[in-house]
Homo-oligomer: A and B are copies of this chain.
Amino acid sequence: MNEFDLIREYFNWPSTDSNIVVGVGDDAAVVNVATSQQLVTSTDTLIEGVHFSSQVGPRDIAHKALAVNLSDIAAMGGRAKYFTLALSLPKIDEHWLGEFSSSMKQLAERFKISLVGGDTTKGPLSITINVIGTLEIGSALQRSGASPGDGVYVSNTIGSAAYAWWQLNNNQKPSKGNLEKLNRPIPRLELGRALNGIASACIDVSDGLEQDLGHILDCSNVGAIIELADLPLDEELSDYVKRTSDYSIALCGGDDYELCFSVPKRQREWLLKRLQEIDIRITQIGEITKSLGLEIKGYSNNSSSYQHFR
């Protein structure tokens, strides 16, 4: 099977998006963009041995590779529209490719996003995806808009993915739900859209709450106080914290892909109203402050967030 057959067989999905003028199979893809829209674009790479182990199956890898990119668009409050896929494979394994392709297609269809191009090459297993989305002009949720007094929120639970990962590495069995959060995170695109025009700053929790909230604080030139007791933890991680008093997984564990965002007080009611339409829990965990730095009430552990080049 050569490169062209591979693309035709596994990645030439039919699309119903009439704005795709040229899709997979030419030098580049061509798409229409509506007036009054801005483009939002983001790239993320997953590499075997760095972002996932050789034990992880093709369905999980494909899902996560696309999900983490969609999560970046969600954190900007954008609509994901198109993506390109650069896939490096050590060998052609048709069963693996079939599973990979079908899982990625499933997620793409769920969020109505079209694969428009890419590159396949022989090499160590690695997946780089670029997502292109659209935004109403001037509506991007940046990291730099938080103001003193704004509430600090996170979606769903935090630390669940990191706790599953920690359990896998410590001969414990993660719950099915947490393993799912680690391997098949759900990009919070509906929430990102709902926050558009409401949140003052937003980021996705991919590197751990402490570090990612820290980016909002740095970019906004503000600080924050958060309460350990208010962190939304799932049942398993909650039990672990009760047993050990160790909050490092909750605060510094990455890979959750939940949204962390700040909302001015005057927008709070409006936010709760909008959230009635989508099925997602949000929790206020603290408040933005004028004095710089992140104050965590009840925390004294020195554990750090995940960084690639330690």
Whether B2 pairs with A29 at a CB distance below 8 angstroms is no
- Chain B residues near A22: list those with CB within 8 A: 76, 140, 142
Q: How far in angstroms is the closest Cβ of chain B from A116?
A: 7
Contacts of A120 in B (CB 8 A): 308-309
Which one of A31-39, A53-61, A237-245 is at the B interface? Answer: A31-39
Minimal beta-carbon separation of A48 from chain B (angstroms): 8
State the CA gap A49–B123 with chains docked (Å): 8
**How many A residues have CB within 8 A of the partner chain?**
71
* B residues in contact with A151, CB < 8 Å: none
- Binary contact readout A15-47 vs B (1 if CB under 8 angstroms, 0 otherwise): 000000110011111111101011111111101
Contact of A41 among B51, B73, B92, B117 (CB under 8 A): B117
**Chain B residues whose C-beta falls within 8 Å of the C-beta of A26 in the assembled complex:** 76, 140, 142-143, 219
- Residue A44 contacts which of B51, B92, B119, B132 (CB distance < 8 angstroms)? B119
CB distance from A159 to the nearest CB of B (A): 20
Give chain B residues whose Cβ lies under 8 Å from the Cβ of A142.
22, 26
A88 within 8 A of B: yes
Contact present for B1 and A43 (CB under 8 Å): no
Say whether A3 faces chain B, with CB atoms less than 8 Å apart: yes
Q: Which of B3, B39, B43, B49 contacts A31 (CB 8 A)?
A: B39
**Binary per-residue interface labels of chain A (270-310) against chain B in the complex, 1 for a CB within 8 Å, 0 otherwise:** 00000000000000000000000000000000000001111
User: A117-140 toward B: CB 8 Å interface, digit per residue (1/0)?
Assistant: 111111110101011110101101
Copies in the complex: 2
Encoded as 1 (CB less than 8 Å from any B CB) or 0, chain A from 57 to 96 comes to 0000000000000011101101000101110100010000
Q: Is the CB of B308 within 8 A of A132?
A: no
When distances are taken between beta carbons in the complex, the residues of chain B under 8 Å from A85 are 43
* Contact status B122-A123, CB under 8 Å: no
Check: A203 CB closer than 8 A to any chain B CB: yes
Cα-based distance from A213 to B39 in the complex (angstroms): 33
Kindly provide the distance from the CB of A195 to the nearest chain B CB, expressed in whole angstroms.
13
**Docked complex Cα distance between A30 and B84 (Å):** 17
Q: A43-B86, A130-B84 are in contact. Are A73 and B140 (CB under 8 A)?
A: no
* Identity of the chain B residue whose Cβ is nearest the Cβ of A132 in the assembled complex: B41
- Report the minimum CB–CB distance from A39 to chain B (whole Å): 5
A-side interface residues toward B, CB under 8 Å? 1-4, 6, 21-22, 25-33, 35, 37-45, 47, 49-51, 71-73, 75-76, 78, 82, 84-86, 88, 92, 116-124, 126, 128, 130-133, 135, 137-138, 140, 142-143, 202-204, 219, 307-310
> Could you show 5 A-B contacts with beta carbons less than 8 Å apart?
A2-B307, A2-B309, A28-B41, A28-B131, A47-B122
